Amino acid sequence: MELLPIFSTPVWMSVYPDFEEHKNSFLTCVRNFKEQNPQGENKSNITGYHSPETLQGEAELHPLFQYVCEMALQAVQDLNFVPNNVFLTSAWVNFNDTRECMNSEHIHGEILSGVFYLKAPPESGKFVISNPGLNRLWGGCNLIKEKNQFTGEMMRIEPEEGSILLFPSYLPHSVETNHHDDERISISFNLMVLPEGQVTIPQQQS
Ligand SMILES: [Fe+2]
């Protein structure tokens, strides 16, 4: 009998190469952005701060977003897409800075999405990816001796400062509770991918 591992879920990881050089200017930028937009938004954030999703307009962060777009161009090669262009359509910052902070499970709406860890103290909340190929109500979940690639319900990833995760926007994910009051600061983003020749009108920045 032959086992056919017929589907797979891609997640790309990279480390932003200029992190040490740009860390302080990124921190200053997102702190200012939070100060200018104190109300934030209510999305998956439980008690934490979720900024308006217009962070892509901040010039100090453009080197990061440029790198993210380069990652996306490589990612779509792995996905074997038709020739295309990638556009970073939205970005926002999350501050999970008390022990009540977490992010409930959700998906995003574009083609690719991701997160960059600007500040991630130990035990401030692992990033959790749920296996989209497994239904947790399946009775087999109760029979697993040791989880493997077919039976793992979730992957828990310890955030590393300076690292970037990129994944298909359909992938359900969440953030575990912060175990202390130290700041966990992450920048999330969405990317649209359009076939070459297809154009879009950029959204007005507020
Ligand atoms: Fe998310």
Query: What does each of the 206 residues of the chain score in pLDDT, given as a tens digit?
Result: 999 999 999 999 999 999 999 999 999 999 999 999 999 988 898 889 999 999 999 999 999 999 999 999 999 999 999 999 999 999 999 999 989 899 999 999 999 999 999 999 999 999 999 999 999 899 999 999 999 999 999 999 999 999 999 999 999 999 999 999 999 999 999 999 999 987 766 665 55
Helix/strand/coil percent split, the chain, to 5: 20, 30, 45
Q: Any idea which residue has 């200017």 for tokens?
A: 25
Q: How far does the centroid of ligand 1 lie from the alpha carbon of residue 18, in Å?
A: 24
* Burial of 28 per CB tally in 10 Å (0-12, 13-18, 19+): exposed
Q: How far does the centroid of ligand 1 lie from the alpha carbon of residue 105, in Å?
A: 8
For 183, the token pair is: 């700041």
Dist. CA 71–CA 120, nearest whole Å = 22
Q: Running DSSP on this structure, what letter comes out for residue 176?
A: P
Q: How far does the centroid of ligand 1 lie from the alpha carbon of residue 4, in Å?
A: 31
For 68, the token pair is: 């993210």
What's the CATH architecture for 12-129+158-195? Sandwich (2.60)
The sign of the torsion formed by the CA atoms of 168, 173, 179, 181 equals positive
